[in-house]
C-alpha cells in the first residue's frame, strides 16, 4: 500500500486506473477463487472523486485513492448488502457505515467491494466448511484451489493474496483473521478488543470480537490499523482507544528483535510436524536477530479454556445478534427468525451442514445468568491473568510465539473442516492483540508465525513482526 500511495502521489497512476485494474483482475480470476461477494457499484465514481480531490490538493488521509475491501459482515451505508454471507440477510442494506468503514473513507480509501466469508463468521455449525456461505458459495485458497482458505475472513485473505485489492479488513472472534492470513501467506493483526470499534459489525461475542487489517506486509497492516483504530461513542469498549492508538508505522523498526524476549508456547505447537520444523528454523532466525528465546513457557491449553469460551460465545451471540437485527431492520428481527428462515430454505442454506450452534445459542440465558458470568470470568482468567499476563510477567517477555495454524487442508463439504489446532485461542479469549507473519512453506502452502502479548501491545508486536518479516522475507504471491 505504501508503494501504491507513492505512485498516486507521483501521479504515476490514478485511483480510477487502480480501480479498473483491480476490477479487471477480479474478473479474470475470481471465478476460480470466489473471494468477492459483491463489487461496489459506486467504486469508479468514488475513485474519480478522490482523483479530483488530489488534483485540487485536498487529501483526506494516508489511504487517499487506495482500493480496499471489507468482509461482508461490516455495514456499508451504500448500495452493497451486509449479509454475513447468509441468504437470510441477502437483501439487507445498512442505513449507515460501520465505524471501521467510516474511518476508512475518512482516510481516503475507496471501498472496492465486500468479501465472502464463512457464513455467519463460522458460528452456525460445528461441522462447517471454512470459506463457504449460502450467499457467496465456496472461497478457495489461491495457492491450491482444492484447499481451504481458512476462516472466517476467507474472502478478505484470498482477495489480498490474489491481488484483488491493496488490503482488506477481516474480523476475528477466535482465529478468523490470523488463521486465513497464515494459510494465504499474509500479515494479519487481530487488535486488542476496544482499540477498533465493533459498531455496525454483525456480531458473535462482544467480549472477543475485533476487526483488523489483512495485508501483504507488516507496513501495510500498520497503515490500515492506524486508519481504523479509535474511540467510537457507539462502542463503550473503545473509550480509551484514542489514548492508546498510535501511528503504528512508527513501530516499523528493522532492529525490533534486538533484545526482545520471546517465549515459545509449546502447548500451542504439535499440530503439524512440518509447521513445527518451520518454527525451529524461525527460532534460529529470531536468535540471530538478537532476540532472547525462552523455551518453553507455560500457558493454559486450549482444552482448558474452550468449554468456558463456548458458553460465553453462545450466550453473547444471541444477545448481540438480536440487538443488531432489531436496530438494522434487516428482515429477521431476532435469532429465532434466522433459524426459522434457514429451516424454510434448508436446501439452499444447509445443503452441507446444519445450525446446531444457532440452536444451542437460542437456548442460552441472558447476560446476567450466573453460569455465563462465571464462564466469562473463568475464560478471561485462564487466558489473561493466569495465561498470557502470567507468562509475560514470569519470564519478562515482550511477546509469545507459536505456529499460527497448520497448512491448509482439503475442502470437504461432507465432513467439514479438518482442524488440528492453532495459536489463536489465548489472545482471542483474553481480548489481547495477535499478529501473524509469514514463517515459511510446507511444499506450496504458506504457514504463519504468531506473536501475541498483553492489552494494547500492538506497537511492540508490529516492531517484532516487522523485524522478523524483513529478516526472513517469506511472503510470495500465488501463481494464478
Domains of the chain: 2-472 (3.90.1300.10)
Residues in the chain: 480
pLDDT of residue 469: 98
Catalytic residue among 15, 71, 125, 153: 71
Catalytic residue check, 156: no
Are the CB atoms for 261 and 292 separated by under 8 Å? yes
pLDDT of residue 208: 98
- The dihedral region occupied by 396, where left means phi > 0, alpha psi between -120 and 50, and beta the remainder, is left
The pairing of beta strand 132-133 with beta strand 434-442: unpaired
CA separation for the pair 452, 191 (Å, rounded): 10
| Residue 167 bridge partners (DSSP) | 68
Query: pTM for the full model?
Result: 0.98
Catalytic residue check, 182: no
Catalytic residue among 176, 207, 210, 424: 176
Catalytic residue among 152, 153, 207, 226: 152
pLDDT of residue 329: 86
Instruction: Read off the C-alpha cell for 224.
Output: 490500515
Long-range CB contacts (< 8 A, 24+ apart) of 89-94?
89/202, 89/330, 89/331, 89/332, 90/135, 91/331, 92/328, 92/330, 92/331, 94/200, 94/328
pLDDT of residue 24: 98
List, for the chain, all residue ranges whose pLDDT scores fall below the cut of 70.
Answer: none
End-to-end CA distance of the chain: 21
Closest CA to 116 of 38, 200, 198: 38
* Cβ count within 10 A of residue 472: 18
* Cβ count within 10 A of residue 91: 10
CA separation for the pair 199, 225 (Å, rounded): 16
**Residue 108: φ, ψ to 5°:** 100, 0
pLDDT of residue 57: 97
Catalytic residue check, 207: no
Amino acid at each position: 500500500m505504501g508503494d501504491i500511495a507513492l505512485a498516486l502521489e507521483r501521479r504515476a497512476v490514478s485511483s480510477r486506473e487502480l480501480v479498473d485494474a483491480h476490477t479487471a483482475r477480479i474478473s479474470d480470476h475470481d471465478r476460480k477463487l470466489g473471494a468477492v461477494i459483491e463489487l461496489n457499484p459506486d467504486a469508479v465514481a468514488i475513485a474519480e472523486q478522490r482523483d479530483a480531490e488530489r488534483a485540487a490538493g485536498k487529501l483526506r488521509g494516508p489511504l487517499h485513492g487506495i482500493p480496499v475491501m471489507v468482509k461482508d459482515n461490516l455495514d456499508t451505508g451504500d448500495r452493497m448488502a451486509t449479509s454475513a454471507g447468509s441468504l437470510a440477510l441477502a437483501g439487507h442494506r445498512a442505513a449507515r457505515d460501520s465505524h471501521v468503514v467510516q474511518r476508512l473513507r475518512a482516510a481516503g480509501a475507496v471501498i472496492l467491494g465486500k468479501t465472502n466469508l464463512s457464513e455467519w463468521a463460522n458460528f452456525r455449525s460445528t461441522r462447517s466448511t471454512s470459506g463457504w456461505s449460502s450467499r457467496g458459495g465456496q472461497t478457495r485458497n489461491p495457492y491450491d484451489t482444492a484447499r481451504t482458505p481458512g476462516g472466517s475472513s476467507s474472502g478478505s485473505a484470498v482477495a489480498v493474496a490474489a491481488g484483488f485489492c491493496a488490503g482488506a479488513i477481516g474480523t476475528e472472534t477466535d482465529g478468523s483473521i490470523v488463521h486465513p492470513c497464515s494459510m494465504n501467506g499474509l500479515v494479519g493483526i487481530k487488535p486488542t478488543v476496544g482499540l477498533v470499534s465493533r459498531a455496525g459489525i454483525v456480531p458473535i461475542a462482544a467480549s472477543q470480537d475485533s476487526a483488523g487489517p489483512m495485508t501483504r506486509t507488516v507496513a501495510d497492516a500498520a497503515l490500515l490499523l492506524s486508519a481504523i483504530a479509535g474511540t467510537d461513542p457507539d462502542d463503550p469498549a473503545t473509550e480509551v482507544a484514542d489514548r492508546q492508538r498510535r501511528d503504528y508505522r512508527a513501530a516499523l523498526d528493522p532492529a525490533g528483535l534486538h533484545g526482545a524476549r520471546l517465549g515459545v508456547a509449546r502447548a500451542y505447537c504439535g499440530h503439524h510436524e512440518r509447521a513445527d520444523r518451520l518454527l525451529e528454523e524461525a527460532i534460529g532466525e529470531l536468535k540471530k536477530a538478537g532476540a532472547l528465546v525462552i523455551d518453553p513457557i507455560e500457558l493454559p491449553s486450549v482444552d482448558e479454556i474452550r468449554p468456558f469460551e463456548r458458553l460465553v460465545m453462545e450466550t453473547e451471540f444471541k444477545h448481540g445478534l438480536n440487538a443488531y437485527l432489531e436496530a438494522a431492520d434487516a428482515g429477521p428481527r431476532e435469532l429465532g427468525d434466522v433459524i426459522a428462515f434457514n429451516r424454510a430454505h434448508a436446501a439452499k442454506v444447509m445443503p452441507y451442514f446444519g445450525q446446531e450452534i444457532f440452536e444451542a445459542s437460542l437456548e442460552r440465558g441472558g447476560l446476567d445468568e450466573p453460569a455465563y458470568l462465571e464462564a466469562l470470568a473463568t475464560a478471561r482468567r485462564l487466558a489473561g491473568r493466569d495465561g498470557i499476563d502470567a507468562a509475560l510477567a514470569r519470564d519478562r517477555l515482550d511477546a509469545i510465539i507459536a505456529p499460527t495454524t497448520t497448512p491448509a487442508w482439503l475442502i470437504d463439504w461432507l465432513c467439514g473442516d479438518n482442524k488440528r489446532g492453532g495459536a489463536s485461542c489465548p489472545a482471542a479469549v483474553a481480548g489481547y492483540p495477535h499478529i501473524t507473519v509469514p514463517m515459511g512453506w510446507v511444499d506450496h502452502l504458506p504457514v504463519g508465525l504468531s506473536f501475541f502479548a498483553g492489552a494494547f501491545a500492538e506497537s511492540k508486536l508490529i516492531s517484532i513482526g516487522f523485524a522478523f518479516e524483513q529478516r526472513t522475507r517469506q511472503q510470495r504471491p500465488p501463481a494464478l
